């Protein structure tokens, strides 16, 4: 059942600046007055078996607090033991359907894949599937996902990663795809994340390569696959590109394309990448400063701005050091700059419910008005 949470007090608390530090470097700019404002609902994946459903207004003209959370609700798919999730994906065919997958196995060793009604919060489908013997389980598993008109395709963060293909209508499993045929052998990389292109002709896969002693090397290989072939369970590589980050710190997570197919926005833990979607050329890197991690980024409908999900860890006066909040942050794609401060989508809700400790997010999707 949908659980309505009235959060006027918590929202006011967030806007008063309960996050006392900015999450980015000194490149934060003054905003040019007259920028378009946006409104919509963000669906933010939480590890407690639910999604934060955050109604937001975005005003890039507000140089301090451009993202304002006007209401917080939840879409519950289970609890933290059975349905911890990183994956929020709105169905391209029906904006009232949220598809999802779990990143940990339940007590029976099974992962869950399903879809929920966004309006009511009720689950439509919830299927279980085992972890492949080639994967290093039991966690982490599903995180990012792409889709075609008829298929939902979550990807794993396993030791030998793979992409599963599910029928959207029934969530019946159709194919399991490894990428060893194009050179990604066991032990050479860490995991997969990806997204489909807006025209649904390609699937972008970001692969974190391993270096000495099996540690993340900071090298990220971006691979464009033929989506129609992937839906059939086959691998056809179209293009590739290597990004270089910092060993042990740069780890790519969920990416997205702008709606016009011009840009790719790629989260990278200690940074965010802006790329030319056709050439995979690097156009910008925005560094995350302090105890901050970037795990997802999605564009506004016109592609002029983007919203990043962050994990921000800070010292809380009441709860002590090491408290992590899930927040969202605005990026100006045209100016290639971060705008203002982040806004809470997790602790603001947890505090209203009387919950203590960290509230951690991951993936993101949205319905824009």
β-pairing, 151-156 vs 67-76, is unpaired
Task: Say if CB 49 and CB 77 are below 8 A apart.
Answer: yes
26-35 pLDDT, tens digit per residue, is 344 444 456 8
Q: What is the pTM of this model?
A: 0.88
In the prediction, which pLDDT does 33 show? 53
What pLDDT score was predicted for residue 277? 97
How is 223-292 classified by DSSP, letter by letter? EEEEHHHHHTT---EEEEEEEE--TTT-----EEE-TTSSEEEEE-BSEEEEEETTT--EEEEEEB-SSE
For 298, the token pair is 């999605």
Report how far residue 97's alpha carbon sits from residue 118's, in angstroms, rounded to the nearest whole number.
6
Share of the chain above pLDDT 90, in %: 78
**Separation of CA 192 from chain center:** 13
For domain 8-368, give the CATH superfamily. YVTN repeat-like/Quinoprotein amine dehydrogenase (2.130.10.10)
Quick: pLDDT tens for 100-124: 999 999 999 999 999 999 999 999 9
**Encoding tokens for residue 39?**
């409104």
Say if residues 301 and 367 touch (Cβ distance below 8 Å): no
Residues with Cβ within 8 Å of residue 32, at least 6 apart in sequence: 61, 335
29: cis peptide before it, omega within 30°?
no
pLDDT tens per residue, range 283-329: 999 999 888 999 999 999 999 999 999 998 876 655 556 778 889 99
User: For residues 229 and 128, what is the distance between their CA atoms, to the nearest angstrom?
Assistant: 25
Residues 172/123, Cβ–Cβ less than 8 Å? no
pLDDT at position 26 is 37
**Domains in the chain: boundaries:** 8-368
> What burial class does residue 20 get, using C-beta atoms within 10 Å of its C-beta: 0-12 exposed, 13-18 middle, 19+ buried?
exposed
């Amino acid at each position: 059942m949908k659980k309505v949470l009235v959060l006027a007090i918590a929202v006011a608390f967030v806007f008063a600046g309960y996050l006392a530090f900015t999450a980015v470097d000194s490149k934060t700019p003054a905003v040019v007055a007259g920028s378009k404002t946006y409104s919509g609902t963000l669906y933010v994946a939480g590890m407690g078996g639910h999604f934060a459903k955050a109604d937001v207004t975005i005003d890039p003209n507000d140089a301090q607090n451009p993202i304002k959370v006007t209401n917080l609700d939840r879409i519950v798919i289970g609890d933290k033991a059975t349905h911890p999730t990183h994956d929020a994906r709105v169905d391209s065919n029906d904006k009232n359907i949220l598809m999802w997958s779990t990143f940990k196995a339940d007590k029976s060793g099974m992962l869950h894949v399903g879809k929920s009604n966004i309006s009511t919060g009720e689950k439509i489908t919830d299927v279980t599937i085992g972890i492949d013997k080639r994967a290093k389980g039991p966690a982490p598993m599903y995180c990012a996902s792409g889709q075609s008109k008829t298929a939902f395709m979550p990807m794993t963060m396993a030791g030998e990663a793979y992409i599963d293909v599910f029928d959207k209508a029934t969530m019946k499993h159709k194919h399991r795809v490894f990428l060893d045929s194009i050179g990604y052998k066991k032990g050479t990389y860490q995991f997969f994340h990806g997204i489909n292109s807006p025209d649904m002709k390609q699937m972008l896969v970001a692969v974190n390569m391993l270096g000495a002693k099996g540690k993340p090397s900071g090298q990220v290989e971006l691979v464009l696959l033929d989506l129609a072939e992937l839906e059939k369970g086959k691998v056809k590589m179209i293009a590739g590109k290597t990004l270089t980050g910092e060993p042990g710190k740069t780890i790519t997570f969920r990416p997205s394309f702008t709606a016009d197919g011009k840009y790719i926005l790629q989260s990278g833990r200690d940074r965010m990448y802006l790329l030319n979607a056709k050439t995979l050329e690097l156009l910008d890197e925005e560094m995350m400063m302090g105890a901050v991690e970037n795990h997802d980024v999605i564009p506004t409908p016109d592609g002029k701005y983007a919203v990043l999900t962050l994990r921000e860890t800070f010292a809380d006066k009441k709860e002590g050091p090491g408290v992590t909040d899930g927040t969202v942050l605005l990026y100006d794609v045209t100016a290639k700059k971060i705008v203002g401060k982040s806004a809470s989508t997790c602790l603001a809700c947890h505090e209203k419910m009387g919950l203590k400790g960290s509230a951690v997010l991951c993936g993101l999707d949205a319905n824009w008005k």
